[in-house]
Amino acid sequence: MLTFHKYTGAGNDFIMVNNLNGKINLDKDYIKFICDRHFGIGADGLILLETSDKADCFMNYYNSDGTLAEMCGNGVRCVAKYFLKQTNRDLKELNIDTRAGIKKIIINKDDTYSVNMGMPVFKHTDFPSAISPTYGQILKLEGFDFNCVSMGNPHAVTIVKDLNDIDIKNIGPKVEINSNFPNKINVEFVQKVSDDYFKVKVWERGCGATLACGTGACAVFSILNKKEKFNKEITLEFSGGKLYLSENNKGEIILRGTAEFVFKGEI
């Protein structure tokens, strides 16, 4: 029997399991089973909360298909809230170890969580055919112009006139498995509403169409910021809710959003 907690960040939902004692070991097939929305609990991913000798805790994150993932911006906010609840600690900030490095979390007075997601990387082996030392390399796929960027995991971002015209379930998987991406890729479609407000549809590598994506939001911001040069926080509206993005004076992207407890159970 496995005890779990369900959390969500802007509609991106996760099965959270306390593994601070290190006794829980879940294989790929079991993770895939419990993330299934018909036969299991249902989630975009599973996170094991574990100890770290470098930070307050480690986020051991798996996609819903059971594969390992480097980073999840919505997931790391949920980990912060879950860690504080599980350990009964009252902190205003904490550090969470991930496969993409240590992320600093600040707990805001409005119960949102701000995460320093680091700097975008525009040259990476995850998109070798789109390699460029700086932003600007365009990759034409499925009739769209994509810019590629890594936020600890790879993303392909394109700007469109109307999201209603985008069949994400048809186009998303084709771009995800394109031969340009040896480790597959996350895909984001962006529509501008106003100078500081944008709508986004996302196809997550290893998950499919999701209601939101934290690293995807950062990838979108990094591409838009090259075009728009924002000097204030902007809003990205996903199907599951809103995320807020800004940049500090070091060029690091700050992701702000909620983390909500949904329910607790046993399976």
Q: Which of 35, 57, 72, 218 is catalytic?
A: 72
CA 47 – CA 79 distance, rounded (Å): 8
CA 199 – CA 65 distance, rounded (Å): 27
CA 94 to the chain's CA centroid? 19
Tell me the CB-side half-sphere exposure of residue 85, using CA atoms within 13 A: 17
Through-space distance between the first and last CA atoms of the chain, rounded to whole angstroms: 6
* Coil, strand or helix at 199: strand
Bridge partners, 3 (sequence order): 266
Q: Which of 35, 57, 148, 213 is catalytic?
A: 213
The three-point CA angle 81-245-15 to 5° equals 30
**139-158 b/e with 16+ CB inside 10 Å = b?**
bebeebebbbbbbbbbbbbb
Q: Is 78 a catalytic site residue? A: no
Q: What is the dihedral of CA 184, 102, 258, 233, to 10 degrees?
A: -90
- CB of 211 closer than 8 Å to CB of 43: no
Q: Is 72 a catalytic site residue? A: yes
* Nearest by Cα to 213 from 45, 31, 42: 45
The three-point CA angle 35-37-43 to 5° equals 40
CA 18 – CA 25 distance, rounded (Å): 11
Q: Would you name the residues annotated as active-site residues? A: 72, 213
